[in-house]
């Protein structure tokens, strides 16, 4: 038998090294390198024997499209691209306690009630706990087959008896293969277990849903390699203190990869939120300074969200910059452009920026809304009543166009907004609301300045 090879694997990024080290060379994480034993790889090169000859097929050949399984949870179905695909593997990642088990239990209960054979394997909870949760969710009667198990060999043997159409593995970090020496949750265990389960999915035609916990750095604990192995990766995110949860597709071989689904965690499980815009806007009776409503796009859907800024004199040598829900590098850029191109200095002041409702925005189209919130906080002048803002800011202080402006405007009008601060369009737009087109960031600043000295709180022309 081949001698076991010793190697050291970073549990965060999967980098393999020959020597142990306190810090991973590749991802710079501390104390993540663990010794793992594996059999040595087969010798390289083609000298090991002849391969099997396979047939090539034409690109335009016939493909049978398999029916997708819709869970009945429309937010989940939309994120997966209209349902689960047979013979595929899907990874649901997220912080512990965010609601992954709850979501998947609700999904399989819905499917099972509709007559689809579903299995739920829990490696974290006892069967009794899963039953209790199902009962609390009002799903106690759903014909889901449940088991508590962690050995992949046992699970595959049991599934092979009567292959189901949907399998939930909760979570992949608790699974292990007995022919590997390393502990469950290590890179090699997670990778090998996932490989076996994915192979089962491809062979049996079942959909395998893997739950994966995330480390605080935002990667699925252990292997990022897992993301490459599965067909679809969904992240379940949200702030612990908020009841809102966002399911985000980050990779999808069978659908859009930038779609989000919005849920609310209630005492009876996860409820769908069909109109997320209403949820991300705080209730305001009168305009306050330091806020701006951003008309954004998440996936295919327009989402309006409030951006809040607070600017306060700092007592620190290096003023605080605290950002929730947006990129802090992008905030620094917007502040630098405000400083260099508009003469608005935020040095010597603490700046806090918050995206309401626990949403995380990654669109550069939010630049202008962030700038509006900052300028409003700085001048004390509220943004115009009933206005939405969107646009990207360039380093020279120009406002750049963003995609799907019409969709953003339509959503804003639908929710009762009457005005939009937007990049100047090349052709005239038909909009249901008043358009205030800006070409330079200084145009935006001038509007707030005009508001601060006169009786008028907002000037109509630039
Ligand atoms: P869970 O699905 O166990 O999270 P994960 O599998 O991602 O670790 O969710 C646990 C949290 O959800 C827990 O803090 C309690 C809360 N919760 C509710 O608020 N309502 C409910 O109906 C359920 C089942 C859980
Ligand atoms: Mg769980």
151 vs 453, more confident: 151
Ligand 1: nearest atom to the Cα of 95: 7
Distance 228 CA to ligand 1 centre (A): 27
Contact 404, 359 (CB under 8 A): no
Q: Is residue 45 in some structural domain?
A: no
Asked if the structure places residue 367 within a domain, the reply is yes
CA 98 to ligand 1 centroid distance, Å: 6
The pLDDT of 19-46, averaged and rounded, is 75
Whether residue 115 is found in the same domain as residue 142: yes
Residues 230 and 352 in one domain: no
Write the CB contacts of 36 (distance below 8 Å, at least 6 apart in sequence).
7, 8, 9, 181, 182, 186, 187, 188
Share of the chain above pLDDT 90, in %: 50
The CA distance from 39 to 6, in Å, is 9
* C-beta separation of 397 from 441 below 8 A: yes
Nearest-CA residue for atom 1 of ligand 1: 99
**Domain-embedded: residue 208:** yes
Interval 94-103: pLDDT, tens: 888 899 999 9
**In angstroms, what is the span from residue 442 Cα to ligand 2's centroid?**
49
At 219 the pLDDT is 59
**Domain hosting residue 230, numbered range:** 74-274
3-state secondary structure of 448: helix
Query: Looking at per-residue confidence, does 199 or 36 come out higher?
Result: 199
Q: Checking DSSP bridges between strand 118-122 and strand 33-38, what pairing results, if any?
A: unpaired
| Residues 374 and 321 both lie in one domain | yes
Residues 306 and 419 both lie in one domain: yes
Give how far the C-alpha of residue 111 lies from the chain's centroid of Cα atoms, to the nearest Å.
Answer: 24
Same domain, 299 and 182: no
Structural tokens at position 235: 């992240």
User: What is the CA(214)–ligand 2 centre distance, in A?
Assistant: 12
Reduced to 3 states (helix: H, G, I; strand: E, B; else coil), residue 349 is: strand
Residues 286 and 177 in one domain: no
Ion ligand 2: residue ranges with CB closer than 5 A: 101
Nearest residue by C-alpha to atom 21 in ligand 1: 269
Tokens describing residue 51: 């391969």
pLDDT of residue 47: 56
Q: Verify that 149 and 288 share a domain, yes or no.
A: no
Counting atoms of ligand 1 from 1, which one is nearest the CA of 269? 22
What are the tens digits of pLDDT across the range 297-349? 887 788 899 999 999 999 988 999 999 999 999 999 999 999 999 999 988 89
The CATH number for 125's domain is: 3.40.50.300
Domain end marker among 257, 274, 291: 274
174 located within any domain: yes
Q: Which ligand number lies closest to the CA of residue 138?
A: 1
In this structure, are 270 and 150 located in the same domain?
yes
Is pLDDT of 40 > 70?
Answer: no
Residue 243 CA, closest ligand 1 atom number:
19
**pLDDT, average across residues 203-221:** 81
**Rounded distance, CA 27 to CA 12, Å?**
8
Tell which residue, 265, 267, 268, has the closest CA to residue 279. 265
DSSP letters spanning 205-220: --EEEEEEEB-TTSSB
Q: How far is the CA of 97 from the centre of ligand 1 (A)?
A: 6
Tell me what percent of the residues of the chain surpass a pLDDT of 70: 89
Q: How many separate helices (H) and strands (E) can be counted in the chain?
A: 11, 21
pLDDT of residue 57: 85
Q: How far is the CA of 100 from the centre of ligand 1 (A)?
A: 8
Quickly tell me which residue has 């493909």 as its tokens.
63
Q: Are residues 306 and 254 in the same domain?
A: no
Task: Give the chain's mean pLDDT.
Answer: 86
- For the cut 70, the answer to whether the pLDDT of residue 5 exceeds it is no
Q: Which ligand is nearest to the CA of 94?
A: 1
Closest atom of ligand 1 relative to the 137 alpha carbon: 22
Q: In angstroms, what CA-CA distances link 315 with 104, 319, 337, 377?
A: 48, 7, 24, 18
Res. 250: pLDDT tops 90: no
Confidence of residue 462 (pLDDT cuts 50, 70, 90): very low
Query: Whole-angstrom Cα distance, residue 447 to residue 457?
Result: 9
Q: Among all ligands shown, which has an atom nearest to the Cα of 170?
A: 2
Domain membership of residue 230 (yes or no) is yes
For residue 99, report the distance from its CA to the centre of ligand 1, in Å. Answer: 5
Tell me the C-alpha distance between 389 and 369, whole Å: 5
Collapsing DSSP to helix, strand or coil, 303 comes out as strand
> Measured in whole angstroms, how far is the alpha carbon of residue 61 from the centre of its chain?
35
| Atom number, ligand 1, closest to the C-alpha of residue 211 | 6
- Tell me what the mean pLDDT of segment 48-68 comes to: 80
Q: Are 382 and 403 in contact (CB under 8 A)?
A: no
pLDDT for position 4: 58
Examine the pLDDT at 352 and tell me if it is beyond 60: yes
For residue 56, is it within any domain? Answer: no
What tokens appear for 270 in the block? 């996860």
Distance of CA 372 from the midpoint of ligand 1 (Å): 37
CA distances from 457 to 161, 200, 281, 306, 386 (A): 72, 65, 22, 20, 13
> Can you give the CATH number for the domain in which 297 is found?
3.30.230.10
- 244 CA → ligand 1 middle, Å: 12
Q: Is the pLDDT of residue 259 over 90?
A: no
Listed as own residue / partner, the contacts of 131-138 with beta carbons closer than 8 Å and 24 or more positions apart are 133/101, 133/102, 133/105, 134/105, 134/109, 136/268, 136/269, 137/102, 137/105, 137/106, 137/109, 137/268, 137/269, 138/268, 138/269
Does residue 138 lie within any of the structural domains? Answer: yes
Q: Please state whether the peptide bond connecting residue 171 to the residue before it is cis, i.e. omega within 30 degrees of 0.
A: yes
| Spacing, Cα 281 to ligand 1 middle (Å) | 25
User: Mutation test of ligand 1: which of 102, 211, 263 has the most ligand atoms closer than 8 Å to its C-beta?
Assistant: 102
Q: State the ligand closest to the CA atom of 123.
A: 2
Using most ligand atoms within 8 A of CB, pick from 93, 99, 266 the residue to mutate for ligand 1: 99
Residue from 265, 266, 271 whose mutation best tests the ligand 1 pocket (most atoms within 8 A of CB): 265
Residues 148 and 242: their CA atoms lie apart, in Å, by: 30
Ligand 1 lining (C-beta closer than 6 Å): 94, 96-102, 133, 136-137, 265, 267-269
Distance CA 263, CA 261 (A): 7
SS3 letters across 113-135: HCCCCEEEEECCCCHHHHHHHHH
Given pLDDT bands bounded at 50, 70 and 90, which one contains residue 185?
Answer: confident
- For residue 96, which atom of ligand 1 is closest to its CA? 8
User: Are residue 114 and residue 134 in the same domain, yes or no?
Assistant: yes
pLDDT band at 30 (very low <50, low <70, confident <90, very high): confident
Which atom of ligand 1 lies nearest, measured to the CA of 170?
6
Does residue 318 share a domain with residue 227? no
User: Is residue 374's pLDDT more than 70?
Assistant: yes
Which residues lie across from 271 on neighbouring strands?
264
Residues in a beta bridge with 401: none
- On whether both 253 and 316 belong to a single domain, the answer is no
Total number of domains in the chain = 3
Is 380 among the domain residues?
yes
């Amino acid at each position: 038998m081949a001698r076991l090879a010793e190697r050291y694997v970073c549990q965060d990024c999967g980098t393999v090294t020959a020597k142990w080290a306190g810090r991973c060379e590749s991802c710079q994480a501390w104390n993540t390198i663990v010794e793992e034993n594996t059999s040595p790889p087969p010798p390289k090169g083609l000298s090991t024997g002849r391969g099997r000859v396979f047939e090539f097929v034409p690109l335009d050949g016939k493909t049978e499209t398999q029916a997708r399984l819709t869970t009945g949870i429309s937010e989940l179905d939309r994120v997966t691209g209209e349902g689960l695909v047979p013979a595929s593997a899907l990874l649901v990642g997220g912080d512990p306690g965010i609601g992954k088990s709850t979501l998947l239990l609700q999904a399989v209960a819905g499917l099972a009630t509709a007559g689809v054979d579903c299995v739920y394997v829990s490696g974290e909870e006892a069967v009794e706990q899963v039953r209790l949760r199902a009962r609390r969710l009002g799903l106690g009667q759903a014909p889901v087959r449940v088991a508590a198990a962690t050995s992949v060999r046992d699970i595959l043997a049991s599934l092979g008896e009567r292959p189901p159409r949907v399998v939930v593995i909760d979570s992949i970090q608790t699974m292990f293969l007995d022919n590997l020496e390393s502990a469950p949750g290590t890179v090699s265990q997670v990778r090998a277990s996932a490989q076996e389960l994915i192979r089962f999915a491809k062979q049996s035609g079942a959909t395998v849903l893997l739950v994966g916990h995330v480390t605080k750095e935002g990667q699925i604990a252990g292997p990022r390699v897992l993301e490459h192995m599965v067909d679809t990766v969904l992240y379940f995110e949200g702030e612990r203190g908020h009841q809102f949860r966002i399911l985000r597709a980050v990779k999808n071989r069978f659908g859009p990869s930038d779609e989000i689904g919005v849920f609310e965690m209630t005492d009876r499980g996860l409820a769908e939120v069909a109109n997320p815009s209403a949820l991300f806007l705080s209730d305001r009776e009168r305009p306050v300074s330091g806020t701006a409503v951003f008309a954004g796009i998440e996936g295919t859907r327009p989402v309006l969200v409030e951006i809040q800024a607070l600017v306060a004199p700092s007592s620190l040598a290096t003023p605080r910059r605290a950002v929730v829900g947006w990129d802090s590098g992008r905030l620094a850029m917007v502040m630098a452009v405000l400083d260099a191109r508009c003469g608005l200095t935020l040095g010597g002041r603490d700046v806090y920026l918050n995206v309401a409702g626990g949403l995380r925005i990654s669109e550069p189209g939010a630049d202008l809304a962030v700038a509006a919130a900052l300028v409003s906080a700085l001048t004390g002048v509220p943004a115009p009543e009933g206005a939405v803002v969107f646009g990207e800011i360039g380093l020279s202080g120009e406002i750049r166009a963003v995609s799907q402006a019409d969709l953003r405007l339509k959503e804003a009008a639908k929710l009762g907004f009457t005005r939009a601060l937007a990049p100047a369009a090349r052709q005239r737009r038909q909009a249901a609301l008043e358009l205030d087109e800006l070409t330079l960031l200084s145009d935006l600043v001038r509007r707030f300045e005009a508001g601060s000295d006169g009786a008028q709180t907002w000037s109509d022309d630039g």
